Amino acid sequence: MAIPVQDFIDHLTKDYRVIVIGGLAVIAHGRSRQTMDADIWLEPLSSPAEWADAIEKVCMQFKGVRIHRLPGWIEVSGTDVAGAAEDTGMIRILGLDCPLDIFRRPNEFDEDSFDAVAERASKAGDGTLLPSPLDLIQSKLDTGRSQDQEDISHLESIIRADYKKRLPTASFEEASELLERYSEWQILQSALENPSESVRELALQHLHEFAEAGDPFSKAILEGRETP
């Protein structure tokens, strides 16, 4: 019987912080879809060598698991694992009940981003961390995969619902922080409902920027406000 991938992840979370990314994270955020592998971001530690050593120590607890690297998914061990961490930012574990991709440097992130992403994440029952929808979107940008585009649409709907709930009553400081990370015409309409003039002015500033960039929805909102 194949070793459950969750058992391997559980061993990592005993000593290290682990952020779940990829399809499993999107499913945890409520999207119904299939995934054929598991993707996690293991905290980068102080060096590629220390990171690789942590993974190899866990591998020693499971008979038959193997470490592979790109290009070509070549089986590696020892210093070659650290080399993979430095060159491609990830390795793949085979021999579990599904492939497990472990990242030190996920798509669109660098190693130094881990702490900030972990701070914004929520803790799952198994000890792993679930990234915020915005951070998960960033990990899926510019991949060219249709599945990722569908995931992004789902995650954006979650963000949109959250912002529409918070912006009508947010303080200027909270609204500024929210809109610095994510802004679009639909949520800006919610900010325009805020009784704070400074929040409304901030929303209008964003709408003008979008309108000048050619967004027709932002133009329509501004024109509607200017109509007597």
pLDDT at 224: 87
Label residues 76-95 b or e (16+ Cβ within 10 Å = b).
beeebbbebbeeebbbbbeb
pTM given for the model:
0.92
| pLDDT category of residue 228 using cuts at 50, 70 and 90 | low
Give every strand in the sheet of 18-21, ordered side by side: 74-76, 66-69, 90-94, 100-103, 38-42, 18-21, 129-130, 122-123
Structure tokens, 1: 């019987």
Residue-wise pLDDT tens digits, 135-189:
999 999 999 899 999 999 999 999 999 999 999 999 999 999 999 999 999 999 9
Residue among 51, 58, 48 at smallest CA distance from 13? 58
pLDDT at 227: 58
Does pLDDT of 84 surpass 60? yes
Instruction: Return d(Cα 24, Cα 97) in angstroms, integer.
Output: 15
User: Which helix (H) or strand (E) covers residue 67, if one does?
Assistant: strand 66-69
Residue-wise pLDDT tens digits, 85-136:
999 999 999 999 999 999 999 999 999 999 999 999 999 999 999 999 999 9
Which residues does 160 contact at the CB level (< 8 Å), separation at least 6? 184, 186, 187
